[in-house]
Amino acid sequence: MNASRLKTIVLIVWGMIVLMGILLGFFVLNSTDLRSALSLNNSQTNVVFPTIAATPSLTLGPTATQGVIYLPSATARFATLEPVTPTPIYSTSLPMLQYFSTLPPNADPLTGEIPQNPEILNRRPIAVKISSFPRGIVRPVQSGLTYADLVYEYYIEDGLTRFIAIYYSQDASRAGPVRSGRYFDEYITRMYHAALVFANADERVEKYLLESDLKPLLFLPRDNNFPPFWDSGSGVAETHFFIDTAGVGPKLTDNTHQELRANLFASLLYPKSLPAVNKIYTHYSIYSYNYWEYDPAAQTYKRFSDAADATGLAQGEQYAPHIDTLTGKQLSADNVIVLSVPHIFHNEFDRADQLLDISINGSGDAYIFRNGRMLKATWLRDQINQPIQLLNESAKPVPLKHGSTYYQVIDPESTLNQADDTIEFSFYTQLRKVTPTPTPFGWEPSPTPKPTRQRH
């Protein structure tokens, strides 16, 4: 090979390398994560998280913000099982780096992890209603939350909240105290193909559930369900019933393996491009409030909950580590996700008793916390019988960390405030949105005052 020909080949190779470098730079600079990283490194300004569709974006940065941000208000609507088909969102960029994650066939789709006994996934998940109030008698015996794959905390009434915990890759020999059901539990039961363990409910809710197609999956404290139900002997309704979750499946008529859509589980591509948030507060009321604190050594979030009634919303609060008495360990989570979901009343009859329908249909805002960082996302319920998706502004799945997830469910009229590495969500309790469903004919509010619920 002569020198001139060799020189030509070298020039062609160098030209190809330069061209590839230009294309790579173009694609990577169009990546949302990297653009955010460059914005933070160069200007130290707040990061803007755009949302899907026309919802206004929020400016959330690593430095203190001024005042309070009011989340977009929800529009009252009829409760429906029909999911909303999203409008396609097409990205104008072609990011070079994408998330690719395929779970092994024996992995839990709810955590992304392989259970110690993969055979346990050949069954239905178990969803259990677990109470936290009255605080003084329930917290000392509250148990089993440590073993749940997913836990949702949501508002019920009178300033109180309740958990619905989903057990799939592990069982709890004692989960509870098991308490009453709500309309929201129907959505969770459908999304996760779960058996629903609860201790009765308001007549309207129980009738609605028992007359639905979910009846074979409802697991209540009836004679033939002892065990796995067991009576604590406390003689107090709030601490009466507990459940051994492993015993629920054999009592079902259909306890076969269920096909559940998995979340995306992956590492963050550009973690430093995201705001650092180490504390996540959720103030539901002066009775129910909590925060999650990131533990960088364990790379998990530890939960601290209300230890006494506060003097006002986010004022005079007292916290203590939230302990699972079954394990003696503090509650922890690999992911903490705040979901903004419409809270509605079907009619004035339900409003009088604070019988809320937390309507997790369609889509809404989501705030994802993992590895000490925050990601703004949108939750989307596009299929009735599958878990919600968590999507970014390009309608791509947002990656979660492998492990357990806690969801804090709030109303879209709640407020958000951020200062430094702390973020606070304050639940909006003056619920005024009502669907146009008529009040039952002839109904009048009872003149007998409702008994005061214990909170302490």
Identity at 430, one-letter amino acid code: Q
Helix or strand holding residue 338 (H, E)? strand 335-340
For residues 396 and 32, is the Cβ–Cβ distance under 8 A?
Answer: no
pLDDT at 56 over 60: no
C-alpha to C-alpha distance for 333 and 301, rounded to whole angstroms: 5
Least confident piece of the model among 228-237, 259-268, 430-439: 430-439
Confidence of residue 111 (pLDDT cuts 50, 70, 90): very high
C-alpha to C-alpha distance for 412 and 343, rounded to whole angstroms: 8
Q: Decide: helix, strand or coil at residue 238.
A: helix
pLDDT at 1 over 80: no
Q: Which of 328, 353, 320 is nearest to 157 (CA)?
A: 353
C-alpha to C-alpha distance for 209 and 246, rounded to whole angstroms: 23
Chain-wide mean pLDDT for the chain?
81
Reply yes or no: is the peptide bond before residue 227 cis, omega within 30 of 0: yes
Confidence of residue 6 (pLDDT cuts 50, 70, 90): low
pLDDT of residue 69: 46
Residue extents of the structural domains in the chain: 3-47, 49-104+262-426, 124-251
The token pair that represents 120 in the structure block: 């346990």
β-strands 373-381, 362-370 pairing? antiparallel
pLDDT at 445 over 50: no
For residues 207 and 215, is the Cβ–Cβ distance under 8 A?
Answer: no
β-strands 126-131, 150-155 pairing? unpaired
β-strands 161-167, 218-219 pairing? unpaired
- Specify whether domain 124-251 bears CATH 3.50.90.10: yes
Q: Which of 264, 263, 262, 254 is nearest to 218 (CA)?
A: 254
Q: Which of 269, 263, 275, 300 is nearest to 400 (CA)?
A: 263
pLDDT at 38 over 50: no
Instruction: Give the largest Cα separation in the chain, rounded.
Output: 105
Question: Which residues does residue 294 pair with via DSSP β-bridges, in sequence order?
Answer: 301
The token pair that represents 131 in the structure block: 């109470």
Q: HEC states along 195-224? A: EEECCCECHHHHHHHHCCCCHHHEECCCHH
pLDDT of residue 54: 31
Residue 401, CA atoms < 13 Å, CB-side half-sphere = 21
User: Any idea which residue has 């309790």 for tokens?
Assistant: 429
For residues 99 and 397, is the Cβ–Cβ distance under 8 A?
Answer: yes
In sequence order, the 6+-apart residues with CB closer than 8 A to the CB of 3 are none
Confidence of residue 61 (pLDDT cuts 50, 70, 90): very low
User: Any idea which residue has 């109030």 for tokens?
Assistant: 133
